[in-house]
Homo-oligomer: A and B are copies of this chain.
């Protein structure tokens, strides 16, 4: 039932200041360094299946997924920037992985090698052992290699593995019940189906979605180590869920798979669940940055309006990227602008705050407030790290950054839609369109037509725009928004030009009254970009800053090219070392500088704050 699809990866060229550098860097830094880490830690060696008890680098049940994600990223990277040497590395890695496939099709380096887990432990612990999760990531890598590079080898390997999995799980005779503790295979099987046309894979994906909740106690029975059923989303059928809960990455990967299956099978109740859970996330359980999963405690969704900013919160990089992927799917299916609005919010903030400007340092959780009393929980650190024991986030960036172009445009036979007007170019046969400007750091952008012919071009009018005006070839043109888009339907000539001017001032934004953490506080936004304060640019520690109500903003550029906002505030001064005191603080007027949230902690260790208390 899809109304749109992304423009093909190679049809989109990014040329803006926000996404393009990250994408370029992924080819030269993020992917190579993740690959090196996979080598160094034994993740690649593991596919030789030669590990023996007592040797270092014991294969771990997550490992295959890390390698798969890097491999997926390599495929996109090679498609966008061919490189013979890198392609050789890619091919060798595929050969190695293929060599680890068992005669019956099974493929998992940890379970196959580690006699403690043992071959007899296949499918014995679906709740924790991540076999189906790893299989899913390898399927995604296989489809990426096939679609981006036309390489079939891994695709064939993964089809065999999928055939084997299909022989084990399902409703049919001789098959057993089972669902993955960590969703991922659902969306991957739909990719495999789309790549091969084999409906078996779609049916298996649908099985893994439909079977969820059929047997709530399943995970409790299969092994001694019980995790909560809600954390594993096993407690009820997905179509009945009213609220989003569970580990955030699990929840979002499952939602992606649900959207895919709904799209391919016209399953309206399934799509309705996707819509409902999306609204619950966006209306009640999402940080202003588009970050999701608000508790370091099991990295999960909690309850409505519970959005702690400091280290009690979470907002895992992987979950935030997954929200963007889910939005992209829902936008494809429905064509509705609300999905583009959220997709844009998360892309400019929480999805990319997890990686540094050099491309090889990562935040696992993305806090909105970092201060002197920083508590280290799980993988949360005050500065970005090169790698983690559970290194899902770094490898997620390896595959996410090359794909950034997919988020900019929506396409169908009838229409080209500009969803995010970041500078760049779309080159489809007969439909070439270029976007120039410095959106979202400037109000104005220009859309230039690069090919002659008749086609519809739609431009999204973002929800935050205070005003919109268009000039077509130098003349003002009144374009009423239709469902949030201005649709130009005409015979284009090469060189036609639309200048769009969005009213997108800096603003103080407040949270819903029930977000008690943010009561009396404001955040600064301009368009889709959330700004934050670092000590680096401010007269005192950011924890002492108050925003002055009604302050005017000045846009400025910092020496190193950061777009910034300057506004009025006060610095609280309260001397003395008593923990509790009846002294009254002094409030000293000052100017406050804020930079885009996604760029923070790129100039050394510092404190940071998004939500400032407001002084009326």
- Is A455 interfacial (CB-CB < 8 Å)? no
- Is A491 interfacial (CB-CB < 8 Å)? no
Contact of A282 among B374, B574, B579 (CB under 8 A): B579
Complex CA distance for A37 and B396, rounded to whole angstroms: 51
Known contacts A543-B519, A544-B519: does B306 contact A373 (CB below 8 Å)? yes
Residues of B within 8 Å of A576, CB to CB, are 512
Contact of A302 among B295, B375, B513, B587 (CB under 8 A): B375
Residues of B within 8 Å of A295, CB to CB, are 375
- The answer to whether B306 touches A375 (Cβ under 8 A) is yes
Known contacts A283-B577, A519-B572, A579-B286: does B510 contact A304 (CB below 8 Å)? no
Residues of B within 8 Å of A453, CB to CB, are none
Q: In the assembled complex, how far is the CB of residue A245 from the closest CB belonging to chain B, in whole angstroms?
A: 12
- Is A388 interfacial (CB-CB < 8 Å)? no
Q: How many identical chains are in the complex?
A: 2
Residues of B within 8 Å of A517, CB to CB, are 310
Q: In the assembled complex, how far is the CB of residue A403 from the closest CB belonging to chain B, in whole angstroms?
A: 27
- The answer to whether A613 touches B288 (Cβ under 8 A) is no
Query: Which residues of A463-491 are within 8 A (CB) of B?
Result: none
Nearest B residue to A510 by beta-carbon distance? B581
- The answer to whether A511 touches B580 (Cβ under 8 A) is yes
- Is A616 interfacial (CB-CB < 8 Å)? yes
Complex CA distance for A507 and B584, rounded to whole angstroms: 11
Nearest B residue to A372 by beta-carbon distance? B514
- The answer to whether A515 touches B312 (Cβ under 8 A) is no
- The answer to whether A579 touches B284 (Cβ under 8 A) is yes
Complex CA distance for A115 and B372, rounded to whole angstroms: 49
- The answer to whether B543 touches A520 (Cβ under 8 A) is no
Query: Which residues of A534-571 are within 8 A (CB) of B?
Result: 543-544, 546
- The answer to whether A582 touches B508 (Cβ under 8 A) is yes
- Is A117 interfacial (CB-CB < 8 Å)? no
- The answer to whether B520 touches A613 (Cβ under 8 A) is yes
Q: SS class of chain A's interface: helix, strand, loop or mixed? A: loop
Contact of A616 among B286, B305, B375, B616 (CB under 8 A): B616
- The answer to whether B312 touches A574 (Cβ under 8 A) is no
- The answer to whether A372 touches B579 (Cβ under 8 A) is no
Contact of A613 among B282, B369, B507, B519 (CB under 8 A): B519
Residues of B within 8 Å of A514, CB to CB, are 371-373, 543
A interface residues, tally (CB under 8 Å): 57
Nearest B residue to A370 by beta-carbon distance? B516
- Is A578 interfacial (CB-CB < 8 Å)? yes
- Is A615 interfacial (CB-CB < 8 Å)? yes
- The answer to whether A507 touches B312 (Cβ under 8 A) is no
- The answer to whether A312 touches B305 (Cβ under 8 A) is no
Residues of B within 8 Å of A304, CB to CB, are 372-373
- The answer to whether B572 touches A305 (Cβ under 8 A) is no
- The answer to whether A373 touches B305 (Cβ under 8 A) is yes
Query: Which residues of A112-131 are within 8 A (CB) of B?
Result: none
- The answer to whether A377 touches B543 (Cβ under 8 A) is no
- The answer to whether A543 touches B516 (Cβ under 8 A) is yes
Complex CA distance for A543 and B305, rounded to whole angstroms: 12
Nearest B residue to A543 by beta-carbon distance? B516
- The answer to whether A375 touches B303 (Cβ under 8 A) is yes
Contact of A582 among B507, B574, B581 (CB under 8 A): B507
- Is A509 interfacial (CB-CB < 8 Å)? yes
Query: Which residues of A558-616 are within 8 A (CB) of B?
Result: 572-574, 576-585, 587, 613, 615-616
Complex CA distance for A579 and B283, rounded to whole angstroms: 5
Contact of A374 among B297, B303, B511, B512 (CB under 8 A): B303
A interface residues, Cβ below 8 angstroms from B: 282-284, 286, 288, 295-297, 302-306, 308, 310, 312, 369, 371-375, 377, 507-517, 519-520, 523, 543-544, 546, 572-574, 576-585, 587, 613, 615-616
Q: What are 24 A-B contacts with C-beta separation under 8 Å?
A: A283-B577, A283-B578, A284-B579, A288-B580, A302-B375, A303-B373, A306-B373, A306-B375, A312-B312, A373-B514, A509-B580, A509-B581, A509-B582, A510-B584, A512-B579, A512-B580, A513-B544, A513-B573, A513-B574, A516-B543, A520-B546, A520-B613, A613-B613, A615-B616
The 9 A-B residue pairs with the shortest CB-CB distance in the complex, in nearest-first order = A312-B312, A520-B613, A306-B373, A305-B373, A516-B543, A371-B516, A513-B574, A302-B375, A507-B582
